[in-house]
Amino acid sequence: MARESPKTTTTHLPPFTLSSPPGTDIWRKPPTHNAFNASIHPSTPNPIPLSTFSRAKISFTLPPAPQLRQYDQAGLLLHLTQPGLSANQTKWIKTGIEFYYGKPYVATVGCDAWADWSLVPMGEFGSFSTTPTASTSTTIPTTTPDDQPGATVEIRREQDELGKSLWIYWLVRDGQGAEVERRPLREVTWVLDGEEEWDVSVSGYVCRPTKAGGEGELEAVFAEGLEVEASGVGGKE
């Protein structure tokens, strides 16, 4: 008799706005730096077994570039925990937009023992507002000082002939919101090693590491909320 696969359910959190003051960050760097004080939503996450996690997706926009500071960022956070584990032993992955030397990048950080960091230029599609050309469905970036950097990012479980991992994607959209490209950003292999021993919380996050520039908070709008898919876990529409 065939064994049934666990039922997959999707949880949809409604749209939300999130702000964070200066001096907030998610970053761990040797020998001793360990910051984990960003604003997150849900503010009290409900962890699920990592072994049940299938995928998570979030869309968001930041303020216009002239209002942004070095390292301003927002996006999607996966936080791996165990009961009784100290703060410097938890693991996490974050992906979203980070403002770096005057430009927005799609940024991804994975933290096992220590954090790494990668940046992808927002490039030809921009992920700002886009306008179709007259003769084709191709989109051309139209950016002005008032444009707000925005992105849709997704983290999903995948498996190939070498094993399982989490893949991180930037979902590029056209001016009508339709997905035109799924850009691979990173494959994270370590995260599912011993996954039965870990729980994961999925959140949107915002942080403003730089204090220079005043006490103003960074605000991001998550206009489509948060979508999380898991197997064997109750969800709601």
Cβ atoms within 10 Å of 52's Cβ, excluding its own: 18
- The residue ranges of every structural domain in the chain are 15-124+146-231
| CATH topology (fold) of 15-124+146-231 | Jelly Rolls (2.60.120)
Q: Alpha-carbon distance 16 to 170, whole Å?
A: 20
pTM of the model: 0.87
Tell me the helix, strand and coil percentages in the chain, rounded to 5. Answer: 10, 55, 40
Q: What's the start-to-end Cα distance of the chain, in Å?
A: 33
pLDDT tens readout for residues 4-14: 556 889 999 99
pLDDT attached to residue 5:
57
- Average pLDDT along the chain: 88
Q: Is 160 exposed, middle or buried (0-12, 13-18, 19+ CB in 10 A)?
A: exposed
pLDDT attached to residue 124:
44
Strand partners, 121: 105
pLDDT tens readout for residues 208-231: 999 999 999 999 999 999 999 999
Extract the tokens encoding 1.
């008799």
